Structure 1
Amino acid sequence: MFDIGFSELILIALVALIVIGPERLPKVARTAGHLLGRLQRYVNDVKADINREMQLDELKRLQQQVEQSAREMELSVNKELTTVEETLNQPFKALSQDGAAEPHAPAEHSGAPAEAGAAAQSDTDLGQEAGAARKSG
């Protein structure tokens, strides 16, 4: 970190011994060690925070890409669905247009069953009259 060699460290220790004195040197060394430990923990915490933020940014970018892909896929599926629906509905549209062009044809067909029903009704009436004549006769 500071690129200090062993000989430089011995020189710093001798200067500290002379300046601080032998009685206070152990206390000062302990305090300096604690402060250095705090500094290292603080630097490590800052590094970890920066790494977390970078990972969070990467995750956000990835999430945006996934959401964009999902939107594109949804649009593609909706487009294909619309195309398929139009393809399937074309025969029904053609039939409804043909039916609208010939409105009289269904009316003629609807009259024929009514006439057949009336004829059947008259036959049953005749059958009832014949049965009544036999009973009375």
Structure 2
Amino acid sequence: MFEIGGTELLLIAVVALVVIGPKDLPNALRTVGRYTGKARAMTRHLRSGFDEMMRQAELEEMEKQWAEHNRKIMAETPAVADPAPETAPETVPDVAPAAPEATAVEPAAETPPAERPLP
């Protein structure tokens, strides 16, 4: 970021030692470190917020593209009628079965074995 090399850093340390003095130098470095940490945290927070906004914008753009693509496909594809609904289970009639004496029917003649349907 600042592109400070080793020699420049050494020169800054010597000047700080001469100007601040050896007694107050640790407190000064601690204070500088604290403010540097706060600045980095603030930068990280701003960068993460910016990255989140960019990600949201990209997601919205992708959603628009997918919606457009889906609309195109739906327009090109002919509408298919819904398949017939599955047959409903047979319902039991509401009428009670007839009395046995009312249904007196002669039994049908038995069909020959050759004409019987296979089970």
Structure having the larger proportion of residues in helix: 1
Q: Cα deviations across residues 13-47 of structure 1 (Å, max 9, x unaligned)?
A: 11111211222111110010111112122222222
- What TM-score, normalized by structure 2, do the two folds share? 0.58
Q: TM-score, normalising length from structure 1?
A: 0.51
Name 2:104's counterpart in structure 1: none
Mapping of 1:36-47 within 5 angstroms? 36-47=36-47
Runs (5+) with no aligned partner, structure 1: 85-137
C-alpha separation between the residues in 2 aligned to 1:13 and 1:32?
13
Residue correspondences, number = 81
Query: Which aligned pairs between 1:37-76 and structure 2 lie closer than 5 A?
Result: 37-76=37-76
Counterpart for residue 12 of structure 2: 12
The structure with the larger Rg is: 1
* Percent identity of paired positions between Structure 1 and Structure 2: 33
Cα offset, 1:71, TM superposition: 2.6
1:81 to 2:68 alignment: no
**Alignment root-mean-square deviation, CA:** 2.0
Q: Does 1:29 align with 2:32?
A: no
Question: Shift in Å at residue 74 of structure 1?
Answer: 3.4
- Counterpart CA distance in 1 for 2:66 and 2:23 is 66
